[in-house]
Every structure is written in structure tokens, then in C-alpha cells.
Homo-oligomer: A and B are copies of this chain.
Amino acid sequence: MAGRIAAVSIVEAVASDLRTRIFAGELGSGESLTESEVASTYDVARPTAKASIEKLVAEGLLDRGTHKTARVVDLGPESVRDIYLARAYLESEVLRRLARTGDVPEAAVQANRDIAALQSGAPLDVIEPDMRFHTSLIDAVGNERISRMYRSLVGEVRLCMVRVQSLQLLDTALIQAEHQRILELIEAGQGEAAAALLDEHLGRARERLVAAMGGTPGPEAEQPSGLLPQ
């Protein structure tokens, strides 16, 4: 499959590129984006640029008030907690449901395999397969709205990760091992245990992000306890 053709609108194309640049860290937190700037950068009309910006605002990637210039959102520690708790909210319940049938979604297995295949590349590289692991679990319940809601969080989550990309907060091997264990617990029908491990998994990431942003981390930031075998 050599890249399917994409006949998207100009608005979507511009929004997509801006998104990429934000995720790549090229547009840092708090950076301003005027409509005219975007318009001239991409050589489009201002209304088109405006529509693109509004799209990203709706996604939570940009922030703007009436008559004010849009800025890349600057997530504080409280927002990080808010985002991660909302994630855990959705995901833990998903794990319980999946454990009831014991189905392990193939896409999640593959995503975790991709994480394992990473050889100490750039720390940024783990983000994509990590995200894919979590989204594929969500998608496995087959509820369109739940998937949609989760995706509205994913943009902000990535933003968090970009912000602290260079800080090496996450140990790839640990991430991979915990994912693996979660999948095993699902297969074994142990939903509560899977949810508990997920809470630890997300809680640790959350509190380390908080600490890295200058907030005071909770106890979840510590190293993993005995939930993983040996």
C-alpha cells in the first residue's frame, strides 16, 4: 500500500501541517500564530488560515480568545493531571470490558511489538507506537463515540510528551513490559488487575510530567512496585 491518495481540503492540509509542526516541537508552547502569518506561510487566503486555526483550537492544540491571537497551548501541571485522569477514566473501564471476553486486540500486540523493536532511537520515537497501543485498546470496544472522545484527548497528550521529550522520563523497556503484562491480564480475564496496572502505568507518567513542568509530583512518580513479575 503505497500511500493512499488524499484529496483533502486546503483547510485540512494546512491544519494537518500545523499539527505536525506542533507535535514535532517546531512550534513551542505559547508561540503565537496570527491568521496573516499562517496565510502567508502557506500562501492561502486569510479565511482559509482562520478556518485551519479554528480547527486546531477545537482540537485543544491551540488556544485563543475573541479578537486575540491564537497561541500554542501551554499546559500546566493541573491540565496534565486533568488530561491523564480523563485518559485513565476511559482506559481502565475499557480494560475491564476487554478482560470479560479475553480478547486481546491484534493491533495492540503489534503496537507493543513496534515499541520493542525500537533501538534506543530518539526519545520522541516511542510516542507514536505508545499512542497506537492505547488507542487500539480503546477502538477494540467498537464504540464510535468513545473512540472519538479518546481522540480528543490524544492531541493534548502528545503535546505533553513533546514538552518533555528531551527529559527522558520514560524507560522504553518498562513501558513495553507493562503493556505486555496488561495484555496478558486481559487474556487471563483479570480486568481489575489490568486496570490497576494501567493506573500505575499512567499515574507514573502523569506525575513525572507534572514534576518536569515544575509542579509537585505525587507518590505515583516512583519506580514500579511489584506488579510486574520479577
A-side interface residues, number (CB < 8 Å): 22
Contact B9 A66 (CB under 8 A): yes
Q: Is A83 an interface residue (CB 8 A)?
A: yes
Which chain B residues lie closer than 8 Å to A9 at the CB level? 66
Within the complex, which residue of B51, B54, B82, B93 is in contact with A145, where a contact is CB–CB below 8 Å? B82
Q: Which residue of B lies closest to A85 (CB)?
A: B143
Q: Given A9-B66, A47-B47, A66-B9, are A89 and B146 neighbors across the interface (CB < 8 Å)? A: yes
Chain B residue nearest in CB terms to A145: B86
A148 to B155, CA, bound (A): 15
A143 near B89: Cβ-Cβ < 8 Å: yes
Residue in B54, B90, B143 whose beta carbon sits within 8 Å of that of A82 in the complex: B143
Taking the nearest CB of chain B, how far is it from the CB of A173, in angstroms?
30
Minimum CB–CB distance from A65 to chain B (whole Å) comes to 11
Question: Which of chain B's residues have a CB closer than 8 A to the CB of A149?
Answer: 86, 149, 152
Contact with B along A116-157 (1 / 0, CB 8 A): 000000000000000000000000000111101100110010
A83 closest partner in B (C-beta):
B145
Which A residues from 1 to 55 make CB contacts under 8 A with B?
A: 9, 47, 51, 54
* Chain B residues within an 8 Å CB radius of A90: 89
Query: A residues touching B (Cβ–Cβ < 8 Å)?
Result: 9, 47, 51, 54, 58, 66, 82-83, 85-86, 89-90, 93, 143-146, 148-149, 152-153, 156
Contacts beyond the supplied A82-B143, A89-B143: 19 A-B pairs with Cβ under 8 Å: A51-B51, A51-B54, A58-B58, A82-B144, A82-B145, A83-B145, A85-B143, A85-B146, A86-B143, A86-B145, A86-B146, A89-B146, A93-B93, A145-B152, A145-B153, A145-B156, A148-B152, A149-B152, A152-B152
The 10 A-B pairs with the shortest beta carbon distances in the complex, nearest first, are A86-B145, A149-B149, A86-B146, A82-B144, A86-B143, A82-B145, A93-B93, A82-B143, A85-B143, A58-B58
